[in-house]
Structure 1
């Protein structure tokens, strides 16, 4: 669990139900908010709140969706069991890009993470922030970290990271280090190592949604940790980077990487983009790289923001992405989970699901 603090008594539970929060840990000392409180729905829709306002939870009465009574879950989410892991020599590391603007920070918080996993933060060498916790490491990578170039730099940082791993690793078949690149505003609520066991032949994994212009979300990219997997993933990202620079620099601040990803994938003559309309994982060969496409509905799920946009939370969601104004909600969810007398991930997810009717701006 990546967060502001942790109780020792939870560790046995978290071994089976891994939970990683990125933003609450990285931003906790920046004091993004002063307090958390929960209000009942209000009859004054024009009033802006700086705290949670609970509304109806989407998906109530629908099969295979989380059912809530208040902030109490009536059914349980489906979590993977680490007992299904065939080899303890295969590890998964979570990697994210994070930098600090116009301030310094000492992230002196406690850290737990998925079993057999590490957290690696790729950052600007000029950022004045440090971490002193087990299984969490910082890797400074020189580059352009200005706000309008950050998405471009993120892909460059991923490529540099993969190049370093190719140089550092001694390649043994029984000792595989897999990598998952994520945005820093995501919560991992299940064991993502299962991806690498269930789909053993892919080189790189992307998440997709039924969106004509932006079918791929770059917030989650998994790389198989074999030499071939890293080489192919590096080639894939290099091609995306060149497309980004040549075609989408006008969108360099936001979305350029996603537009370049979609262009590269769709440029493969044999690719059938109609598969993006189905919520089923599939494999395809994209310009010589074996790509696993995972549905955003499970691996990159976004909390609702406005009535009618979502039909509840599937019980087997693996990753929650707190995009845009939802980032504040991520902090509130962590505080709720961390302060509960009997912490339960499902109860925390009910809070998330019921809080989607109000924007949470920084």
Structure 2
């Protein structure tokens, strides 16, 4: 009886052995035909904003939005830091252009052109647009601050704006070595500032070195006011491999602050050049930063797991660690866990293809005059991959 039962079961399943492969082949064929009709369906990036629900609803420490209207933001107009103190704050960024003479005169392919709002950009123009929006946000949030652009002397940057200075520094600005050159440019700039500091007494000038794809949305003068004893500040996140982001480095502008910040960055440059040249085009500087910090035996890396500000002495340098959640917040892109935006975020970092979102955000701010509502636009758009 048992043998007969197993034989009947086999005969019942036998047709499925022929049917399932045919079904799978049909599904695969359907998928291939679909991809032929839409060849870029998987890799397609949007050329417009795609708004979705704002993450973080129900979390009391997160920005709450109704569409693009902020409901609980703490971003209110404040008296600029530099109006209350003799200290000045300068934002310093490294920026160069590639193939400028060719790309700015000839647009060879329609795919090289993107449109944001009423403006169309080729590759060089979109980079310049991002740089200008970087400056725009600083002049709104910290209008008394200056912007200094460190660049290749061969670059003819068309920047003619009040409060903006172009500072040429000789070096190797190729794409493969730009991150390495960035640290060298920082050191050259600090050397010049130190010499100026020693020439005579004057107001203290503090420096915040940042990527140019950042939007400063709050006054950062509080960093130097609330923490008067640090020499250099870094931003951190809960990431074991890359806990430190090199896109934001603050330096106290006293002689001692500049000297110690230089010593720290020289050590980072040494480690970068000796251990991480294989990652010289990207991430090498962040890996070197983490190496220098973690090499200090007394440092407890578990502090990176909590988004709370702390100070540590690293090789004789007082380093202020600021959470990326506030001072280097990046809109998530694509899938992944996402718990919204902290209410008191200070800096938004538009990494990678999020630069369209940076331009769109500035356009929205110009029409709304509300930083808080603009942050809701970013929050609702942050999970979408855009075209550049």
Q: Which moved more, 1:281-290 or 1:172-181?
A: 172-181
Q: Give the equivalent residue in structure 2 for 1:14.
A: none
Q: Which sections of structure 1, spanning at least 5 residues, go unmatched?
A: 1-44
Are residues 80 and 270 of structure 1, via their aligned partners in 2, closer, same or farther at CA, if it must alter by over 3 Å?
A: farther
- In 2, are the aligned partners of 1:54 and 1:357 still within 8 Å (CA)? no
Write out aligned runs for 1:197-216 (5 A).
197-216=225-244
Q: Is the 8 A contact 2:209 2:247 kept in 1?
A: yes
Aligned to 2:97: 100
Q: Does 1:72 align with 2:69?
A: yes
Structure ranking higher in helix proportion: 2
Distance 1:251 1:80 in 2: 42
Q: Tell me, yes or no, if the aligned pair for 1:89 and 1:174 is still in contact at 8 Å.
A: no
Q: CA deviation at 1:146?
A: 0.3
Bigger Rg, which one: 2
* TM-score where L is the length of structure 1: 0.82
Matched, 1:357 2:383: yes
Which shifted more, 182-191 or 321-330? 321-330
Q: Is the 8 A contact 2:331 2:383 kept in 1?
A: no
- Name the CA distance, whole Å, in 2 between partners of 1:302 and 1:172: 40
- The answer to whether residue 289 in structure 2 is matched with residue 292 in structure 1 is no
Distance 2:348 2:81 in 1: 23
1:1-362 alignment to 2 at 5 Å?
A: 48-78=45-75, 81-82=78-79, 87-104=84-101, 112=139, 114-170=142-198, 175-338=203-366, 340=367, 342-362=368-388
Displacement of 1:61 in angstroms is: 1.8
RMSD (Å) for aligned C-alpha atoms: 2.3
How many Å apart are 1:336 and its aligned residue?
A: 1.3
Deviations 1:315-359 (A, max 9, x none): 110000011121111111111112x1x410111111100112310
Is this contact kept in 1: 2:45–2:387, CA < 8 A?
A: no
CA distance in 1, matches of 2:77, 2:271: 37
Deviation, structure 1 residue 309: 2.4
Higher strand share: 1
Alpha-carbon separation, structure 1, partners of 2:143 and 2:242: 33
Q: Is the 8 A contact 1:80 1:194 kept in 2?
A: no
For residue 243 of structure 1, report the CA deviation from its aligned partner: 0.4
For 1:279 and 1:79, the matched residues in 2 are separated by: 23
Is the Cα–Cα contact under 8 Å of residues 217 and 348 in structure 2 kept in the other structure? yes
Q: CA deviation at 1:130?
A: 3.0
Gapped regions of structure 2 (runs ≥ 5)? 1-40, 105-124
| CA shift for structure 1 position 115 | 3.5
Question: Aligned partners of 2:269 and 2:180: how far apart in 1?
Answer: 7
Query: What SS is found at the alignment partner of 1:152?
Result: helix
What CA distance in whole angstroms lies between the structure 2 residues aligned with 1:144 and 1:80? 42
Tell me if the contact between 1:162 and 1:230 (Cα under 8 Å) persists in the aligned partners. yes
| Shift of residue 227, structure 1, vs aligned partner | 0.3
User: After alignment, is 300-309 or 52-61 more displaced?
Assistant: 300-309
1:201 is paired with a residue whose SS is: coil
Q: Give the length in aligned residue pairs.
A: 317
Residue 241 of structure 1: SS of its match in structure 2? helix
Deviations 1:236-272 (A, max 9, x none): 0000001000000000000000000000000011111
SS in 2 for 1:122: strand
TM-score normalised by structure 2 residue count: 0.77
CA contact (8 A) 1:204 1:221 kept: yes
